[in-house]
Structure 1
Amino acid sequence: MAASAASREVFTEGVRAVLQTWPVLQIAVDNGFGGVYGQQKADWMVDVVQQYFHDNADLQQYEVEDFIAELMDQEFNTVVDDGSLPQEMECEASGPSVSRTHPPPPPPPTQDEEDGWTVVRKKK
């Protein structure tokens, strides 16, 4: 079933609203984790996430979380480890093609290494 242009535009704006207000992405952009084109990468992510929903039917929530986590890792060298991805996906998951079943949570990190990665942790 093809989405109409109007509904696709509304969905894209919803994705944009969620990603633009996601603190992890904003921290990555504000601190230059994506390089000089960090803001352009964040804008590009909106289109990529929208297209991912469009191209894949019956997505599971964990699939979307993994996809966005991979984008953050590849484009911003940022491992999202603060528990915010499932929360963000609750907002985005209001789209019709996402199932809200949750896989078991990932195991906690075993050690903090200085390997050049930026780890975003949940505030206490």
Structure 2
Amino acid sequence: MVDVVQQFFHDNADLQRGEVEDFLSDIMNQEFNTVVEDGSLPQLCDALLQMFSQWQQGALQTLRNTIDSLSQKKSERAKVTPPPPQSDEDEDEEPQVMECEPSAPSVSRKADPPEEEEGWTVVKKK
């Protein structure tokens, strides 16, 4: 995902937040079967655009400081649960929980994604 996002930024000049948000939303939908509804995508896109701009301008110390401040933020985590199983076979399984930083550019998983190919994971605020 990192390489694809990096290539997107290099291939497109003067990106706007909405364009980056749509791109990331599509990646999350298509690659991870995840719909992000917790408001973190605009924050993430703003941070990515800011860091890319700093890199383009050669402001590497400012970029390092921005990355350090993002990695040190401790904010409320969103709780993510998969949709309820559609078949009776999955009744014995525990719900899977995944946590993500709404303001950080990465998502950390506590459980594997749901086995269902047609099911979608929805990221919502607690």
TM-score class normalised by the smaller sequence: 0.3 to 0.5
With the length of structure 1 as denominator, give the TM-score of the two structures. Answer: 0.47
